Amino acid sequence: MPYFLIFLPLISALVTYFGKFLGNKFSQVFSSFLITVSAVISVIIFYRGLVFNEYDNHIIFEWIRSGEFIANWSINIDPLSSVMLVVVTSVSAIVHIYSIGYMSSDPHKPRFMSYLSLFTFAMLTLVASDNFLQLFFGWEGVGLCSYLLIGFWYKRETANNAAIKAFIVNRIGDFGLAIGIFLIFYFFGTINYNEVFTLIPEFKSETIDFLGVKINLITVICFSLFIGAMGKSAQFLLHTWLPDAMEGPTPVSALIHAATMVTAGVFLVVKCSPIYEYSTQALNFVAVVGMITAIFAASIALVQNDIKKIIAYSTCSQLGYMFFAAGVGAYQVAMFHLFTHAFFKALLFLGAGSVIHAFNDEQDIRNMGGVWKKIPMTCALMLIGTLALTGFPFLSGFYSKDAIIEYAYISGTKVGSYAAFIGIITAFLTSVYSWRLFFKTFFGDYKGKEKIDTIHESPMVMLIPLMALSLGALFSGYIFKDLFIGLSSKFWQDSIFFLNLKDEHTVPLWFLLTTPILVTTAIPVSYFYFIKKPEILVSFKKTNYPLYNFLLNKWYIDELYESLIVRPIKKIGYFFWKKGDVGVIDRFGPDGVSRLIKNLSNKATKFQSGFIYDYAFVMLIGLSLLITYFIIK
């Protein structure tokens, strides 16, 4: 059965790509069907694991064997991967079906469906691996599909640039991940997860010497792996590709850049909890990066105007939450937030897609507003998504996000209390920017360019998938909280490792209430400032325009990279070519030698002029020199 789970998406990808002649309808229905079957299988696998404890590692065949370096193609089902399988295949199935409606006017439907299925396959190999190399395969595979899908509309210059940017920034992350794998192989002699994890305790005080500095081995490994995670999960400094990735079609943003691929980094850290647990420094680093990203991305989301970019920064920020949860040692909570986030964020993105569809490809929220009566279904679904994201009590985000903040608080470390503090502030900011998005899109006056009559509700094929997701956004928190983060839950078994089980502190009541109260009060506050009295904000904007521009231009990080990295690299490349290869090596190498020989032979030919008096003259000089020599001697 696991074979079907993994290979149905691959079959779907190949058949739809090479079966273009079978028609658009075929490709859409066929791929959606196969992925749905795959999703059903994943639920069965999850259930059987949960109830009958059926976890197993299926080895397909040996991939690489070079001395000790051995990797298998495998399907590893454990509690952690079974959760990921459910998330990936179910969101993927929903997105496949939604795409039938969303891409209805696109001429390249089979190609689109094929890429989506291929992505699903790559993501499944990533999460179902039993070794680091297959993880790397999936890791770069999803990066490839992300590249292909961001650049799906290849005629757009911006889409092409965004696609390349995504691939290259991810490559920088992969660079770290690769170094981590080299380190692991060098010291442990294996890249199989379980073999590595059992060896870790023996190496906990091992140090390595890099450029004369002695560093703890485990810490270095954790740092390297985390660079990979930062790239894939768009954490601070390596986040720049994610907002640009919104150039891709909206279903792609929902599937890849919200629910699944970007969470691979979190998955990696949780999967490697047996390694991270032995390095406090690395964990603190993870937590700090997570915190910075959470608040940084939320601050940018406050002022953006593109509906998809706001949600993209929101994703960035929520991933930050997951990382600092992992950083304070609450891996299961990070996974829980990953799980709930997949539903409500996919809902928000697909809802945004429905809005964009309704407005005939308008993405700027300044040109929207006042249409909630026109598109009530979309509005209601977006409302659910927004409530869930902001952590409104008893929706899914409430359980997972508040749990992160609580766990940070009770972790008892300095980093933990900072994380809790930043978590609360970010929760408030999240609420503000989410409601800003919601109110400006659906309420206030209509500010669209076209007549309001052109606004239309999306077809059912798009709305039904949204409803399915909204069920997840509403109830997934409540239903799964005991299973995933309950104190007595044995669900995770040994797929998540804790070095010291934390003794339970109780959280004071005021602390429990702070976040829900803040996020709820943000609703009327946002309504007041964004809809009722927007002029207050406009004047605030005017008095504080440096701050506003700083946020609007995303902290100027893209500009910084452009002038510090991209342009210098091009200059160096040009210098090496023109001055190095042409100016030095060729000039003094082959060209120099041939010029030298030419000059010498030119001189030599001048001696052979063919005139008798020349030769006679030379003879005379020679003779006189000889005579002189003998006389002096």
Partner 1 sequence: MNFPILSSIIFLPLLGALFIMIFKPKNNTGVVYISLFTSIANFFLSLFIWWSFDPLFDGFQFLEEKNWISGFIKFKLGIDGISVLFIVLTAFIAPICIISCVNSIKNRLREFLIAILILETFMIGVFCSLDLVIFYLFFEAGLIPMFLIIGIWGGKRRVYSAYKFFLYTLLGSVLMLVAIIAIYTLTGTTDVTQIYEIKIPIQYQNILWLAFFSSFAVKLPMWPVHTWLPDAHVEAPTAGSVILAAILLKMAGYGFLRFSIGMFPHGSEYFTPLVFTLSLIAILYTSLVALMQDDMKKLIAYSSVAHMGYVTLGIFTFTKQGIEGGMFQMISHGIISAALFLCVGVLYDRMQTRDIRSYGGVVNYLPKFSLIFIIFTLASLGLPGTTGFIGEFLVLVGTFTKNYLAAVLATFGVVLGAAYMLWLAKRVIFGKVTNESVTKLTDVNKSELAILAILALLTIGLGFYPNLILNTVDTSVNSLISNYQNNLASVEVNSR
Binding site for partner 1 (CB under 8 A): 61-69, 73, 133, 136-137, 140-141, 144, 147, 151, 154-155, 157, 160-161, 163-164, 167-168, 171-172, 174-175, 178-179, 181-183, 185-186, 208, 210-211, 569-570, 572-574, 576-577, 580-581, 585-586, 589-590, 593-594
CB of residue 161 to partner 1, shortest distance in Å: 8
CB of residue 470 to partner 1, shortest distance in Å: 36
175 or 421, CB closer to partner 1?
A: 175
CB of residue 157 to partner 1, shortest distance in Å: 6
62 or 450, CB closer to partner 1?
A: 62
47 or 574, CB closer to partner 1?
A: 574
The 10 Å Cβ neighbour count of residue 192 is 21
CB of residue 17 to partner 1, shortest distance in Å: 9
489 or 594, CB closer to partner 1?
A: 594
What is the 8-class DSSP label of residue 215? Answer: E
Please, are residues 91 and 255 in contact by the beta-carbon 8 Å criterion?
A: yes
CB of residue 209 to partner 1, shortest distance in Å: 8
- Rounded alpha-carbon distances, angstroms, from residue 244 to 147, 150, 248, 553: 12, 9, 9, 13
Alpha-carbon gap, residue 487 to 484, rounded angstroms:
9
CB of residue 572 to partner 1, shortest distance in Å: 6
Alpha-carbon gap, residue 336 to 282, rounded angstroms:
22
CB of residue 226 to partner 1, shortest distance in Å: 16
Alpha-carbon gap, residue 524 to 147, rounded angstroms:
40
CB of residue 585 to partner 1, shortest distance in Å: 5
68 or 202, CB closer to partner 1?
A: 68
Measured in degrees and rounded to the nearest 5, phi and psi for residue 404 equal -60, -45
569 or 621, CB closer to partner 1?
A: 569
125 or 378, CB closer to partner 1?
A: 125
Alpha-carbon gap, residue 336 to 322, rounded angstroms:
9
Alpha-carbon gap, residue 224 to 517, rounded angstroms:
39
CA atoms within 13 A on the CB side of 15: 17
Alpha-carbon gap, residue 89 to 36, rounded angstroms:
7
Radius of gyration of the chain (CA): 31
Token pair listed for 576: 């090496």
Alpha-carbon gap, residue 132 to 170, rounded angstroms:
17
Amino acid at 20: K
The 10 Å Cβ neighbour count of residue 366 is 10
446 or 577, CB closer to partner 1?
A: 577
